[in-house]
């Protein structure tokens, strides 16, 4: 683990899976706490409620390459059937 001089963690070596989800025409990035495939219908936090969306892309990232800050990223709630 590498620390910055200001006390923050720069790298923890962990790989995170992010999913780009289309929610009502708005693409948003979410952490995927479980395996999810492109085309899957998922339930995600959107605004003040949960909404249904479709996974359009997935990426495995580190903290440095994540599309949004890992600490502030919202998570996929569940996969819908």
Q: pLDDT 10s digit of each residue in the chain, 81 long? A: 555 566 555 567 799 999 999 999 999 999 999 999 999 999 999 999 999 999 999 999 999 999 999 999 999 999 998
Return d(Cα 57, Cα 22) in angstroms, integer: 9
Per-residue HEC secondary structure of 33-68 comes to CCCCCCCCEEEEEECCEEEEEEEEEEEEECCCCCCC
- Whether the pTM exceeds 0.85: the reply is no
59 burial class (0-12, 13-18, 19+ CB within 10 angstroms)? middle
Q: Which residue has the tokens 């990035």?
A: 29
């Amino acid at each position: 683990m590498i620390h910055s001089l200001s006390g923050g963690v720069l790298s923890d070596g962990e790989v995170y899976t992010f999913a780009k989800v289309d929610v009502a025409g708005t693409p948003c990035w979410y952490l995927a706490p479980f395996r999810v495939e492109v085309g899957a219908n998922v339930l995600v936090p959107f605004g003040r409620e949960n909404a249904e969306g479709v996974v359009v892309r997935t990426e495995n990232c580190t903290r440095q390459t994540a599309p949004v800050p890992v600490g502030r990223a919202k998570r996929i709630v569940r996969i819908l059937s």
